[in-house]
């Protein structure tokens, strides 16, 4: 006999693993420096700092972060549509 509650446990376990992975990614920090530009980004794709020729450019960091967020939202919507 198939246990319908096992699937719920599997889903819960998957969600817990996904949350742990997101937390681990958020704790990572990547720094890239090229041609006078320095970008600091977390592993979950959040831009925390952009510096151009030694000058902090918060406007660019904020715009870039918003663009990444929008692409992630679009990807999530497409994924949801595929599951329908």
State whether residue 46 is helix, strand or coil. Answer: coil
Name which of 30, 29, 28, 36 is nearest 57 in CA terms.
Answer: 36
pTM listed for this prediction? 0.65
* CA-based torsion, 83, 66, 53, 56: positive or negative: negative
Domain parsing of the chain, residue ranges: 28-84
Q: What is the pLDDT along the chain (84 residues), one digit of tens a residue?
A: 566 666 656 777 778 888 888 888 889 999 999 999 999 999 988 898 999 999 999 999 899 889 999 999 999 999 888 877
Spatial separation of the C-alpha atoms in residues 27 and 21, rounded to whole Å: 10
């Amino acid at each position: 006999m198939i246990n319908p509650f096992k699937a719920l446990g599997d889903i819960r376990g998957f969600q817990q693993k996904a949350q742990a992975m997101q937390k681990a990614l958020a704790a990572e920090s990547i720094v890239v420096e090229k041609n006078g530009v320095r970008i600091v980004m977390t592993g979950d794709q959040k831009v925390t700092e952009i510096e151009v020729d030694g000058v902090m450019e918060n406007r660019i960091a904020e715009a870039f972060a918003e663009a990444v967020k929008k692409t992630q939202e679009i990807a999530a919507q497409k994924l949801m549509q595929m599951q329908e």
